[in-house]
Amino acid sequence: MINGNVKKIKLKEGYEVYTRSVGKGKLPILLLHGGPGGCHECFEAMEKYMDLEKYTLIYYDQLGSYYSDPVEDDSLLTLERYVDEVEQVRAGLGLEYFALLGHSWGGMLAIEYALKYQNYGYLKGVIISNMTASNDSYEKGLSEVRKDMLEPEELAYIEAIEAKEDYDDKRYQEIIFQKLYPQCIFRGEEWPAFFAPEKMAHNVYNKFQGNNEFIVTGTLKSWDRWDDLKDISVKTMIIGAKYDTMSAKDKEEMASRIPNAELLICPKGSHFAFLDDVENYYPRLQKFLETI
């Protein structure tokens, strides 16, 4: 890991969020981690694969996340405020020409940011990595994933547990975290340290998402931007993966609806395709960035 330049951005709400810039490139890439409530450490592996003479990676922990100030005020846990936070960070860093890469929840933020701020002229390209355009689509995709990867008895068991909302059930937890997560979330041999429970802002995650990746019970459940994708005018790259929790068909549909978009489906990857399918992810990503 390269140390880089750390800068804390003071938000108008009075909190501070953490950023760190690595690289010498003329094109800054602001990275939006997933979760919600994850942290920037998931992106540090990019230093091995990105040309840091061409690009500057800007890590950023969103409010409540591990390196930024914690947040206990539920009124701040809204999608609109987090989108506004991205713009505050852009302004605080003085970025007048940049690309935005959002993974998972970060991809949702990237979609929202592009729709709200693209006409200001700062955003030159957006990468929506491993995120679909609605949580209804996400849940439909999850249903297919669960059917494909679980035995009928296992599927019936977790559905019964979810009907009772007994998410702490031991066997339920085993099926979700020991069987589904290693197939769809990260397919590498050793799980990176950033997956450790203490690195996750659980209050943020639970508020927005719910108990786990395979059911949406939080406030984002009704999120839907399918009809608005046509309004994204900046250059866009949609990235998905064969084994992702997010449907590859959804990614194809997203790329067809965004006027200036290209598509990559990583054939070996899962939800963290930038970690478990690096040979397909990074060459195409950098080829796209060269067009910005």
Instruction: Write out the catalytic residue numbers.
Output: 104, 244, 271
Q: Kindly give the residue spans of alpha helices, DSSP state H, lying in 35-180.
A: 79-93, 105-117, 135-149, 152-164, 170-174
CA atoms lying within 13 Å on the CB side of residue 227: 2
- The verdict on whether omega for the bond into residue 36 sits within 30 degrees of 0, i.e. cis, is yes
- Residue 215: phi and psi, rounded to 5, are -160, 135
Cα torsion 75, 81, 82, 88: sign: negative
What is d(CA 95, CA 89) in angstroms, rounded to the nearest whole number? Answer: 9
Question: Bridge partners of 265?
Answer: 240
Cα torsion 124, 225, 212, 207: sign: positive
- Look at residue 117 and give its three-state secondary structure: helix
